[in-house]
Amino acid sequence: MSAKSRIRLPDQATIGEVIEIKTLIAHPMETGTRRNSDGTLVPRLLLHTFETKFAGQEVFRAALHTGTAANPFISFFMKVPGPGEFEFTWIEDGGVKTTERHDLKVT
Amino acid sequence: MNVRRNLCAAVLASAFAGAVHAQESIGGAIERELETYRSMMKSDPWSNPGTLDVDRGESLWKTPAGPNNVSLEACDLGLGPGKVDGAFAALPRYFADAERVMDVEARVLWCMEKLQGFDHVKLLVRPHPGAGMPVKDLGAIATYVAYRSNGRSFAATFSHPKEKEMLALGEALFFHRSGPMDFACSTCHRDSGKRIRLQPLPVFSKPEEARRIVGEWPAYRVSAAHVMTMQHRIYDCFWQMRLPEVELGSDVSVALISYLVKQAEGGEINIPGMKR
């Protein structure tokens, strides 16, 4: 599906402003401890890392574990250093990466 | 001796009173904690993963699919082909082309069948998701349609004779006890203060409660990690009552939804809701 994640940024920001960034992604966050109906373990499948770069520089990183709910919602704050592009990356067990890019309009 | 016995009785009585009092305050504390949890969930609509399925529903609505390879944009939800904004607020309604009263899911089902050429029977095999599985395509589309009535109030008119008939059937079903457990919807949803586990049960015969609750469906269920539609909610209630399986879009389901929507008349639509 095309709409797998959602990013919420302010329409525009000023340099030095503290903005909130909200992210949502569809993911089962399978813990690896559940069993299915025939008793076999459901293999672990987690997004183990979420990282954000702004203008090429890392600004936020989170390690996610088995206690994280399915379809994780992560929000954080950033002081705007200047104009640039956000790069949001979620890394799944096995190394599959989902990346979203969004411009921030700075006035 | 007598004095002593009376004293004992008095001590015992006050001990009982104390226990009852403690139980009430624990109940009150749990309710307060749950309310905090619910208000945190609702405080930021952006934190609701149900919105991901709104997006998914939108893309499904606009993407050609099915044997006929057409999108649903020609689907008439009651306001004319392709008109989505506000359509949900006026449902359920009578559709002359289908000669039936339909709610949003029954109508989307009809459009998927008639426009896109999907097999009706196949669409009705396991139409609702299991725990942890995402809502099915039909449910995602219905969630998107409902979302496009956010901020509006329930305003189905129930003026057509068929709509009146459906409403009367829904009200009768709501109060009609049946099945091995002799249950009716009203068994759980008639008196205030009832709950299943920690879920308080809304009293739908009271319009003020219906107005508050009905506009939250379809809702994201945190425990099941998916969006649950109103048809799914009713399907599950029937299962909990040990009644036969309700078919998605059947007259029984549409009748009950008609009754709920009528009770919620004027209530604001705010979708997707957020539930435990």
Which pair of structure tokens corresponds to residue B139?
Answer: 């449910």
Does the pTM surpass 0.95? The reply is no
Flag whether B141 is in a domain: yes
Taken in order B112, B117, B118, B121, the sign of the CA dihedral is positive
User: What ipTM describes this predicted complex?
Assistant: 0.77
| Count of domains observed in chain B | 1
CA distance A54 to chain B (A): 22
Q: Report the mean per-residue pLDDT for chain B.
A: 88
Q: Say if residue B5's pLDDT is above 60.
A: no
Task: Dump pLDDT digits (tens) for B99-137.
Answer: 999 999 999 999 999 999 999 999 999 999 988 888 999
B175 CB-contact burial (10 Å; exposed 0-12 / middle 13-18 / buried 19+): middle
Residues 6+ apart with CB under 8 A from A53: A59, A86, A87, A89
Percentages helix, strand, coil for chain B (3-state, rounded to 5) are 50, 10, 40
- Has residue B61 been placed in a domain? yes
Band of the pLDDT at B223, cuts 50, 70, 90? confident
Domain A5-104 has CATH 3.40.50.720: no
B36 occurs within a structural domain: no
Residue A3: list chain B partners with CB under 8 A. 52, 55-56, 58-59
pLDDT over 90 percentage in chain A: 82
Spans of all domains in chain A: 5-104
Domain containing residue B201: 45-275
Check CB contact of B46 with chain A, cutoff 8 Å: yes
> Omega before A28 cis (within 30°)?
no
Calculate how close chain B gets to A42, using CA atoms only, in Å. Answer: 12
Write down the mean pLDDT value for chain A: 91
Contact indicator for A20, A75 with CB cutoff of 8 Å: yes
In this structure, are residues A25 and A4 in contact, taking their beta carbons and an 8 Å threshold?
yes
Do the domain assignments include residue B19?
no
CATH number at residue B102: 1.10.760.10
